[in-house]
Structures are given as structure tokens and as C-alpha cells.
A and B are shown apart, each in its own frame.
Chain A
């Protein structure tokens, strides 16, 4: 198991390094000149040269990449062009807000999706099952951006049940949770549907296995069979999907943070892009890549813990 974790983490590390090196090269090699974009049309050649020197862009590309990577390892992501603050500080300041949002969405997705899927599988072809099926597909289909906007209009502007924008009062946890509800629904509701369908399918498959028949033949109580024997195996694909799903949720978080005017790395990225603040965009790309790779790695490890066959097969 330790060996399995060590290898997963090593691969994750390699992927993060490759990913940030690649995006650095991609941004530099793109036809658009970031410096010219940053300084605008009235920049003089001297200004451009000065900024390039300050950002180290006058050196050959491989050297730049290496310097950038070394900087990253030392916790140096450069300086925000507008605020002149360290990018690493700004990212670490904004990251928790996005993490709260994603965590709330994950909680919603797993807390609602898994029981619904389980219930559907156990009451197959019942009215509830059919209803859950149709609703699941519908919420999967509708984009988070639209759920955010419609949700805000309906629940915040029209009905006034929930606050429209912001984080809520600092120090007032209930108010903060109140402010988190709509954004978390926007990001997570599609995943509720997705998980419900996934768990239903996996559960139906597992319940058909010989070992479940065998457990029934030994007269075990039905709730043991469902929770102890079947569900553990049926949630394995769910965990994998959620691991990858964090990537989509990060994307959705951008929209939720913009629409609900919440702080977070998504909003930060959007603001940085619109003013060409490119050290900040690199910082956010790095943070979100680490987050996504960490979540997929974690989901692999959790799966290996649940199912001994997985760690055996890959060890």
C-alpha cells in the first residue's frame, strides 16, 4: 500500500512539473506577445525591453523554463504586475475560498447523488427511480453558468431567499454558509445527477454478482448486504469520477465566483486575464493543476484502500 501511494504521488509530481513547464512554453510561444498585451498599444520599445528584463523574458526559452521551475520550488511565483505583491501570497489568500466552494459542491454531489443512486437501484423501475433518472439527466445537461444565473434571479432577486453576492459576514459562519448555498448548487447539482446515475448502474451490476447472491444465501440482513457488501464496491467508480470531476468543478467555480462576486482563484484568474496580469494567471494555473492532480491521485489511493484487488494489480 505504501509502495502504491509512493508511486502514485511520484507520477503526480512528474505530471505537475511537465504541465506547468508546458503551459509556460505555450504562453511564451503563442503568437500573441504577452508583454505587448500587458503594456498596451502605446508601449515604447524601451518599456518592453525593461519589462522583459524584469520578468527574465530576454533569456533563451529553456533557461526561462528552468528558472521558472526553480522559482516554483522555492515558492517564488513572481510579482503581481498591478498590485506589486507576491503572487504566491495572493494565490494562497484566494485559494481557500475556492476550496470551500469545491468542497461544498463535492459534499452536495456525494451526499445527495450516492443515496439517490442507491435508492434508485434498489427500487428499480419504480416511479421514484424513473423520476430520479429524468431529473439526473436534466441537471447533468444544464451548464453551471446558467444554473448560477437562473438561480440568482429566482432565489436571490425574485424570491429573496438567499443572498445574491459576496462571501457573507466575516466571523459569521452561518451567514457564510448561507452565501455558499447558491454557488455550491451551481457547481455541484450536475454532479448530483451524474453520481446518481453512476451509482445506480454500478449498484445494479454489483447486486447481480455471485457474491451478493451468496451473501443472501447465508441469510445476512439486507442492510448489511447493501452497505457492507455491495455499496463499497459500487462507489469505486464514483470516487474516480469525483477525482477527475474536481477539474470540471474548478472550471465551474470560475463562473460561480464571477456571477456571485465571490473571491477565489477563479475570479482572480478572470480578473488577471482581462488586464493581462500574466504572473497571476501562471500562479492560478499552477494552483489548479496541483489541485486537480492531487485529487485524482487521492481518488486512486482511496480506491486502492477500498478494493484490495486494485492495489495488487498495480503494485
Chain B
């Protein structure tokens, strides 16, 4: 279609590796850099919450309840006089833990199911697709409200629900990707050379799928953080005495008429986390997906 003269001469400078090149693109993208800074500071603050938190997040100090944000209390205090900023730091730990565990486990299960469907006999493929589509028929929040109370509120219930509702998406994407790769000529070439199924899968199919999947998963982290906060807000997620951004939102919401800044404060960490991860995920995709990069 277009004249090949526009394209760079084939066999131009050899890139030593795709990864430094991708990183260069990421850092050159201001929004990506912005996301990276937000995410890194969030991870740092949450990881060292026990050192960085100015107050004990559980320490009740009734006389100083409902304090507006100030230099002493960056996000103010709640109805029991607990420091909202300290609570937000500990809440970040929970959010990151839930996001990381659910995403990775769901990705692993989804990848296995997707591969089974793509490789297995036709009946297994149809069965797996039917199961995945069935689970996908539940809206996440409705499913969580129905099932959550039966398992009791808590971090592992949240993780379980989020895994169950994420697996179908990963499974479907991996299945399609695996089928596409399996039909490509280089896999036929490997077969023609006598490569074993195991070698083809591990050396040629997986590496071509796992990169894009990790990018998709990274873009799902804000969705998971949102869901965790939402479930905790609804009372089917994290329960006290553990702290969570969703619980803080619930607390603040209850006093919205009296002191609106409390719920506003509770929303700030969630916004920072989801914005940071979304910007980073978008930039990662642009930087590492060569198809998109070439189109720029």
C-alpha cells in the first residue's frame, strides 16, 4: 500500500534488546513518567507504612475527632480521632496486596485454562469456553454481594471473588492469543524441524503471549483496586480492625452531611493509585507493543 521507501531501511541499527528500548519509550512519555512516579511513591509509602505513618492508625483519640486536614493531620481525623493519613498508608498495603495477589493468581489460572482450551481436544475447548462465559455472566459487584457474605468478610474473600471474576477475561484472551500463535508460520516451522510440543510451548508460544498478557494485567490493577475499595465500602470486603480505603470511604460517607472533607480525604489515595496505575499501564502498552509503537 504505502511505498516501502518510507520505512526505515531494513537491517538498520540492531537493537540490543527490546526491554531497554521499551523503557526508553516509557520514560520519554510524560504521562507514563507521571504514572510511574505516582505508583513508585505509593508503593514506597505503603511498604514503609510502619515507619512513615505519623500516628498509630488504630489509636483512638476522641478529643481530636473530625479535625480538618492540617500539617499535623494531612488528611484530617475521623469520628474516633484516628489519623486518616496513617490509615490511608496502611490501607495502601491492603490495596496493593489484594491487587497483586488477585491479578497474578487470576493471570496464572487464566493462562492455564486458556492454554488447555487452545491445545486440548475440541470438547475440552468448548467446555472451558462455556465455563468461562458462564462466570463472565455475573457482574463482579453483584456476584460479590451474593457470595461474599457466605464466606465472611475479609481479605481472602475479596481476593477469591476478584480472582473468580477476572479469570474468564484472562482465559479468553490467552486462548485467542495461543490459537493465533499456534497458527502462525514460525510454529509450523518449529514442528517441521521436529521440536516437541513442550519445547514449542515453552520456548516459542509462551514468550510471545506472556508479554502482552502482563501488560493487560498491569492495566487491570486499577480495576482491582477500585473493586476492593468498592467491596469494602459495601461491607463485603475488608473488615475492621484492618483498614482499607473502601472502609474509609464508607466511614466518610456516613458523615458526609456533617464533615464532607472526611470522605473527600478518603477518596484521595484511591484516585492517586488508580490514576498512577492507569497512566503507567497505558504507557507500558504503548512502549512495549511494537505494533502500536510503529504506528506512531
Contact = CB atoms under 8 A, between A and B. Distances in A.
Interface of A: 11, 14-16, 18-19, 22-23, 26-27, 30-32, 34, 37, 134, 137-138, 140-143, 145-146, 149-150, 152-153, 157, 204, 210, 213, 244, 247-248, 250-252, 254-255, 258-259, 266, 269-270, 273-274, 276, 281-282, 284-285, 288-289, 292-293
Contact of B140 (A27, A143, A248, A281): A248
Given A34-B150, A137-B279, A19 B134 contact: yes
B149 A285 contact: no
Interface stretch (B44-52, B173-181, B227-235): B227-235
Contacts of B253: 149, 259
Q: Which 9 A-B pairs have the closest CB atoms?
A: A251-B141, A30-B150, A141-B278, A143-B226, A32-B150, A250-B139, A247-B139, A141-B274, A19-B137
A31 B148 CA distance: 11
Interface of B: 1, 31, 130, 133-143, 145-152, 222, 226, 229-230, 233-236, 249, 252-253, 256, 260, 263-264, 267, 270-271, 274-275, 277-279, 282, 295
A269 B142 contact: yes
B230 A255 contact: yes
Contacts of B260: 153, 157
A27 B150 contact: yes
Contact of B263 (A14, A34, A149, A274): A149
Contacts of A138: 275, 278
A16 B260 CA distance: 42
A31, A145, A248, A289 interface centre (most CB from chain B within 10 Å)? A145
Given A18-B130, A285-B146, 6 more contacts: A27-B147, A141-B277, A145-B233, A146-B271, A149-B249, A270-B234
Nearest to B282: A137
10 contacts: A16-B137, A19-B135, A19-B137, A26-B150, A141-B274, A143-B274, A149-B253, A266-B141, A273-B235, A285-B143
B31 A251 contact: no
B267 A149 contact: yes
SS class, residues of chain B in contact with chain A: helix
Contacts of A152: 256
Contacts of A244: 136
Which among B222, B226, B277 has the highest number of chain A CB atoms within 10 Å?
B226
A27 B144 CA distance: 11
A251 B140 contact: yes
A146 B230 CA distance: 9
A284 B138 CA distance: 11
A32 B151 contact: yes
Contact of B230 (A27, A204, A251): A251
